[in-house]
Chains A and B, each alone.
Chain A
Amino acid sequence: MALPSTDREAAASVAGPEKHHRVEFTAGAGEYFRIWIVNLALTIVTLGIYSAWAKVRKRRYFHGHTRIDGESFEYRGNPVAILKGRLIAVALFALFYAIGHYAPLYIWAIYLVLLFVGPWLVVRSLAFNAYNTAYRNVRFAFSGTYRTCLGLVLGYGLLTLVTLGLGFPFLRRRLVQFAAESHSYGTTRFALAEGFKKPFVRPYFVVIGVSLLLGIALVVFFAGVGAVAGAKAKAGAGVPAWMPSAMIAGAVVFYALIFLQIAYIKARTVNAVWNHLSVGPVRFESVLRARDLIWLYFSNFVAVVLTIGLATPWAAVRSMRYRASKTTAIASGTLDGFAQAEAQRVNVAGEEMADFFDIDIAL
């Protein structure tokens, strides 16, 4: 359903006036801190077994506090299933870690395996999460297949390789499109309008362009520092005292820039996707701002470091609150007309492993 804006307005006028539902996130940092710390302590006391329950409680807390039109989301994952998936994931992760650490020469084998297992993990993970998320007692579903996902990863992966990384934005774009369009709410498919493509890819190229310029500047900086220091060292004066500080300053600038780029890309791509996403009579609006995200990430980082981790729940809650405050669901008509789909059980193993390997194509 890729409606151009004029058609969309026409459709809306048929179905009645549009209603804006701001996404609400009503969790409190204090309340979540208590849940988080009790989760941690119980996980420790039970030697990790409780972690599955902890995960479910955390998810249920976050889903339950996310509301649209006054109704909250629901997480229905089963802790016992998650525990089993987790055990498999831990074993595999340990194996991969051992190979990576001890047999770095075989690291390519890991990447090869991950290349084929990764898409499977992504698909299973999305399916599990969708199946276990409900809103107004109607479940979400994910119908994407491993074969499609693998095809995309291999095809666009090759493109990325051949173009020395320039194809990466297109790989991500295609994966996000796959993820979005394979979701449905009940029997209603999500649709991603064509228009998302340009605004999705553009920020990557802005970052690549700016990075090239800055990269050159940094190389010149380091080379300059090195040359001066080298000349002094040769002259018998030893390495000058300011040399390490200059190098550290350069590194800090480098990481700060990466930080800015990630925040900028995140804000722009999330907006691009959500502003072109629709499900039945509902479309979305997302107005994340790069500078807000930069401040959010930075202040979270500082707070977590300064509190030796205790600010983690606060950081998680305020990130979600920001995200929700900038997202609106716009419905032409009521949200009553979505039909439940036939339920299909979904295996948990993939989702747990994807969790461990940090594989994520977040929307």
Chain B
Amino acid sequence: MTEFDAVYYDGRTSARKPVRVRGYTLVIQIVGEGLRLDVPLGQVRVDPPVGGTRRALHLPDGAQLQTDDHAAMETLFPRAHALEGWVHGLERRWPYALAALAVTAVFAWWSVVDGLPLAAKIVAGFVPVAWEAKLGEQTLGFFEGRLCRPSALGAARQQTLQQRFARLTAGLADGYSYRLLPRDCRGVGANAFALPGGTVVMTDALVKLAQSGDQISAVLAHEVGHVRHRHGLRMALQAAGLAALAAALFGDATSITSLATTLPVALLQSGYTRELETEADDYAFHRLREIGLSPKAFAEIMLLLEKDHKKRSGGDSKDYFSTHPATAKRIERALAAP
């Protein structure tokens, strides 16, 4: 027999009644002022334990017993809640908690370094190219007219550009409908970007900066690499994954504190960008060789871009959280490309 003190609630009002409970093999007996109740043990449902919180015993007709006598609960209901009882055991001891910490840390590390990029790559593989093209259109619509206007370059020059692009994308047969849009985007300087689905935008400033047509081809090849490897889509998926991960790990505290997670997330994202840039570079080197051009052209245009960037920003271009891998390294890789 197990005996313990409890508070009895009849389920109709909030009135509390201190009682003494005797637990037998098949029945519990509740005795208090003006109360004597026998309840078959089979009709009693006990809540699983959580930390040191009070235990509740649910009786028929919504009545309830509450008690702080955890030992008595263990004896009376030794096999209730196999799973949560086991979890409770883990939560009670520091060694298990530290093991849980190790599991969490390893998982978080792996997710950030390999898991999320891999998952994004796999998920991106399931997105139809047609969807991607639509997404690209949306993005284009966002800055067309706002940031960029149609190119101010001469018709002949534009045609040469299109020919270069056509040569790069000829016979790729990857389902993307490639298209080059020369644009005059004053605010962004010498630049080029790839949109999901195959549209590549190149600014007039970049065309003017380049000293040879091959250099332009090199940049375009890099952008084609972004398209083929679905970088736009993958970046978005990775960003979503990171946000979800951060929210799951640290979203527990007050909302202001969770602001603390946005900074690391931003930093990690720039790390992802660098990886994707390297991937696009590799594709560019490979493709340039394929159509009979040298990756050296890539090294040349990178050098020009860096100089241009330095001139425009007036200072050293080596910002700490640069989204592109350090230019020197990219140039080195271009020169060393097979």
A193 contacts B by Cβ under 8 Å: no
Q: With a CB–CB cut-off of 8 A, which chain A residues contact B253? A: 300, 304, 312, 315-316, 319
A40 near B255: Cβ-Cβ < 8 Å: no
Inter-chain CA distance A335–B134, complex, in Å, is 62
Q: Dominant SS at the A interface?
A: helix
Partner of B53, one of A40, A43, A61, A358: A61
**Chain B's nearest CB lies how many Å from the CB of A338?**
4
Q: With a CB–CB cut-off of 8 A, which chain B residues contact A65? A: 51, 53
How many positions in chain A have a CB within 8 Å of any CB in the partner chain? 68
- Of chain A, the residue at the smallest CB distance from B111 is A44
Tell me the B249-268 residues at the A interface (CB within 8 Å): 249-250, 252-257, 259-261, 263-264
Inter-chain CA distance A300–B261, complex, in Å, is 12
Inter-chain CA distance A60–B261, complex, in Å, is 26
**Chain B's nearest CB lies how many Å from the CB of A31?**
5
A60 near B53: Cβ-Cβ < 8 Å: yes
Tell me the A38-71 residues at the B interface (CB within 8 Å): 38, 40-45, 51, 53, 57-58, 60-61, 63-65, 71
**Chain B's nearest CB lies how many Å from the CB of A287?**
19
Q: With a CB–CB cut-off of 8 A, which chain B residues contact A241? A: 315
A35 near B138: Cβ-Cβ < 8 Å: no
Interface string of B305-317 (1 = CB under 8 A from A): 0000000011100
Partner of A34, one of B64, B91, B196, B248: B91
- Of chain B, the residue at the smallest CB distance from A313 is B252
Inter-chain CA distance A98–B249, complex, in Å, is 22
**Chain A's nearest CB lies how many Å from the CB of B290?**
31
A239 contacts B by Cβ under 8 Å: yes
Inter-chain CA distance A34–B95, complex, in Å, is 10
Q: With a CB–CB cut-off of 8 A, which chain B residues contact A16? A: none
From B98-106, B218-226, B271-279, the one touching the partner chain is B98-106
A305 contacts B by Cβ under 8 Å: yes
A102 near B236: Cβ-Cβ < 8 Å: yes
Partner of B14, one of A43, A63, A312, A337: A337
A309 near B250: Cβ-Cβ < 8 Å: yes
B194 contacts A by Cβ under 8 Å: no
Partner of A297, one of B47, B54, B248, B257: B257
Q: With a CB–CB cut-off of 8 A, which chain B residues contact A58? A: 252
Inter-chain CA distance A336–B240, complex, in Å, is 50
Q: With a CB–CB cut-off of 8 A, which chain B residues contact A72? A: 53-54, 66
B122 contacts A by Cβ under 8 Å: no
Tell me the A107-143 residues at the B interface (CB within 8 Å): 135-138
- Of chain A, the residue at the smallest CB distance from B239 is A101
B56 contacts A by Cβ under 8 Å: yes
A40 near B100: Cβ-Cβ < 8 Å: yes
Q: With a CB–CB cut-off of 8 A, which chain A residues contact B321? A: none
Inter-chain CA distance A233–B314, complex, in Å, is 8
**Chain A's nearest CB lies how many Å from the CB of B136?**
9
Partner of B248, one of A51, A106, A319: A51
Inter-chain CA distance A305–B240, complex, in Å, is 21
B63 contacts A by Cβ under 8 Å: yes
Q: With a CB–CB cut-off of 8 A, which chain A residues contact B51? A: 27, 31-32, 35, 61, 64-65
Also in contact, A304 and B14, with CB within 8 A (given A72-B54, A101-B236, A101-B240): no
A37 near B100: Cβ-Cβ < 8 Å: yes
Inter-chain CA distance A64–B125, complex, in Å, is 47
A57 near B87: Cβ-Cβ < 8 Å: yes
- Of chain B, the residue at the smallest CB distance from A336 is B15
A74 contacts B by Cβ under 8 Å: yes
A316 near B252: Cβ-Cβ < 8 Å: yes
Tell me the B128-169 residues at the A interface (CB within 8 Å): 134-135, 138-139, 141-142
**Chain A's nearest CB lies how many Å from the CB of B35?**
15
Inter-chain CA distance A262–B254, complex, in Å, is 12
A238 contacts B by Cβ under 8 Å: yes
A315 near B248: Cβ-Cβ < 8 Å: no
Inter-chain CA distance A227–B141, complex, in Å, is 34
Given A38-B96, A53-B87, A60-B47, 4 new contacts (CB under 8 A): A37-B100, A57-B50, A64-B51, A301-B260
Give 10 pairs: A residue, B residue, CB < 8 Å, sorted on A: A41-B99, A41-B103, A101-B240, A105-B141, A106-B138, A297-B254, A310-B101, A312-B252, A312-B253, A340-B13
Q: Top 4 nearest A-B pairs by Cβ distance? A: A64-B53, A137-B9, A41-B100, A336-B15
Please report B residues at the A interface, Cβ cutoff 8 Å: 7, 9, 11-16, 47, 50-54, 56, 62-64, 66, 84, 87, 90-94, 96-97, 99-101, 103-104, 107, 134-135, 138-139, 141-142, 196, 236, 239-240, 248-250, 252-257, 259-261, 263-264, 313-315
